[in-house]
C-alpha cells in the first residue's frame, strides 16, 4: 500500500519537471500529475476517479496568488478538501513574511542610496521576484 499523491501545477512544464524528477526516483507510491489551477477549475470533474481518495496534495507554484481574493482562496481550499481523504495533507510553497519584509527594506535602502541620501516621503511600494509581485498600500500620514 502506497501513499496516494496528486501533484497540481498551473503549467504543463511544471508538471513535466516534477513528473520526470519523481519517476527518476523509482518510488513505489501512487502518484498522479495534473496540470490544473485549483483556484479556478472544478477539480472534482477533472480528477473524478480519485475524489476523496488522496493522501497528499502538494501545490508548488504561484500558490500565493490564490489568496488575493477570498473567493479564489475558498475555491482552492474547497477543491483540495474534496480530493483529500480524512487525515490527508495539503501543502504548498509561498514567500514567507520575513523574506518579504527584508526585500522591502532592501528596496527602501537602495532607493535612498540612489537619491543621494535626500529624505523623501516617497518609498517604493512593491517587491517582486520571478514568482511573485507584492504591492504595498501607501497610506498618507494624518
Q: How far is CA 62 from the centre of its chain?
A: 4
Query: Model confidence at 119, in pLDDT bands (50, 70, 90)?
Result: low
Q: What is the DSSP letter of 136?
A: P
For the chain, first and last CA: distance in Å? 63
CA distances from 106 to 100, 109, 125 (A): 10, 5, 12
Instruction: Give CA–CA dist 136/102, Å, rounded.
Output: 14
The model carries a pTM of 0.56
Q: What is the pLDDT of residue 5?
A: 72
Identify the CATH homologous superfamily for domain 5-92: Vaccinia Virus protein VP39 (3.40.50.150)
Per-residue pLDDT of 37-93, as tens digits, reads 777 878 777 776 676 778 888 876 667 777 778 888 888 888 888 888 899 888 887
pLDDT at 124 over 70: no
Q: Where in the chain is the domain with CATH 3.40.50.150?
A: 5-92
Per-residue pLDDT of 81-112, as tens digits, reads 888 889 988 888 777 778 777 877 887 787 77
Sorted by sequence, the CB contacts under 8 Å of residue 76 that are 6+ apart come out as: 38, 39, 66
Instruction: Give CA–CA dist 23/125, Å, rounded.
Output: 43
Amino acid at each position: 500500500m502506497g501513499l496516494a499523491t496528486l501533484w497540481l501545477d498551473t503549467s504543463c512544464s511544471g508538471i513535466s519537471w516534477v513528473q520526470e524528477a519523481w519517476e527518476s526516483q523509482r518510488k513505489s507510491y501512487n502518484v498522479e500529475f495534473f496540470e490544473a489551477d485549483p483556484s479556478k477549475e472544478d477539480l472534482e470533474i477533472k480528477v473524478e476517479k480519485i475524489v476523496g481518495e488522496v493522501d497528499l496534495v502538494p501545490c508548488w507554484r504561484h500558490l500565493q496568488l490564490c489568496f488575493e481574493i477570498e473567493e479564489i482562496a475558498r475555491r482552492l481550499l474547497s477543491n483540495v478538501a474534496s480530493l483529500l481523504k480524512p487525515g490527508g495533507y495539503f501543502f504548498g510553497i509561498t514567500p514567507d513574511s520575513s523574506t518579504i519584509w527584508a526585500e522591502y527594506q532592501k528596496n527602501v535602502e537602495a532607493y535612498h542610496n540612489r537619491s543621494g541620501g535626500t529624505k523623501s516621503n516617497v518609498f517604493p511600494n512593491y517587491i517582486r521576484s520571478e514568482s511573485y509581485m507584492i504591492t504595498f498600500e501607501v497610506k498618507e500620514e494624518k
